[in-house]
Structure 1
Amino acid sequence: SLRPDVLTLQEFTPLAERRLAAAGLRELLPYAVTWPAPGAGGSAVYARHPLTAGELIEAGGFGQATAVLRHPGGARVEIVSVHPCAPKRTGRRPCWLAGLQRLPRGDGRLRVLAGDFNATLDHLPLRELLAAGYRDAADAMGRGLSATWGGWGPLPGVTIDHVLAGERMAVRDFRVLAPVGSDHRPVYAELLLP
């Protein structure tokens, strides 16, 4: 079984926070930075190692929680739970673009952007983000087309959930896991710090 050091959650509601606490999540990942919100706009970062809350990235009612993880080896790693609003509804494209454009660019810091980007590697804003100092963990492992959403009807699924690692980090593993009560499949990445 997987024992992640970090878990990012999107569409994080107050009810989800209570249910996860009742299920014992804080025993496995005792540190958390949470921003619960009704509907799809909340997010959270849970971790095995100490976290310090960062600035919440907001656009169109969607909050993207940020935290700085203090690794036992001394490294500090910024984690962002990514979830810009979906561009599919009329008038939502500016919210989607703002949610992606407000994500921090790679500046040599140890940083991980993980979650539901509502974008594939074909979308220009995601390609610009990658070019600004990140690597997509799935793509680095030759699994860049592994569907994470959809595929339950006649159309194939798409890859909109990603783990982006700062250029200084190596990608050791990436997997798309079985669905667990969501229309998105969870993703797992193992990253190595320099």
Structure 2
Amino acid sequence: MMPLFFASTSAYVRKVMVCATVLGLADEIERLDSAAHPVVRDERIAAFNPLAKVPALRTESGICLYDSRVICEYLNARAQGDLFPQQGEARWQSLARQALGDGVIDAALLARYEFSTRPPEKQWPDWADAQLKKVAAALADIERQVSDFSHRPNDIGLIAIGCALGYLDFRFAELDWRASHPLTAAWFAVFDAHPAMVATRPHV
């Protein structure tokens, strides 16, 4: 078994679990409780990751891995999967899409933390707005690319983008991103119905 510090609300943990599910490794992961927080440090997680952030996984040989990018690549190698193209333009495109999806999650998290973590007298709305502008720009780029996307979670870049869109639904429903991104909305309706996505949907 591979212990993983887990949070059902984390888009990055979801990314790992989607990969694990697709690769047939989900039953080999032991989910450990965690309370990752940008201010209050969870020392349990720090035993695996000095940054005290999830996801953090320990391999059966005792190597501690973090963050989601490293863990996903490890799981793919362990299962001899093909979620990461090995060479050529396909590899760089996949990794760039992973960075795009992760970037949406990063920006959305920062916007959420501004209001959910900071005391009211220290909140800076312009900061949150700037993060959501990044989200909007990324969504526009996804809309431009989406006609080339597979409808199955068979590529790390698409898994990252799918988890990012799921996080927006979970934490930023008021953005109503589908209204201005109809092609992405149509793609995600099919992609998010895949069993690996259904099994990993965030919940409180």
TM class, shorter-length: 0.3 to 0.5
Q: TM-score, normalised by structure 2?
A: 0.36
The structure carrying a bigger helix percent of its residues is 2
The structure carrying a bigger strand percent of its residues is 1
Highest RCO, 1 vs 2 (Cα 8 Å, sep ≥ 6): 2
Q: TM-score, normalised by structure 1?
A: 0.38
Larger of the two Rg values belongs to structure? 2
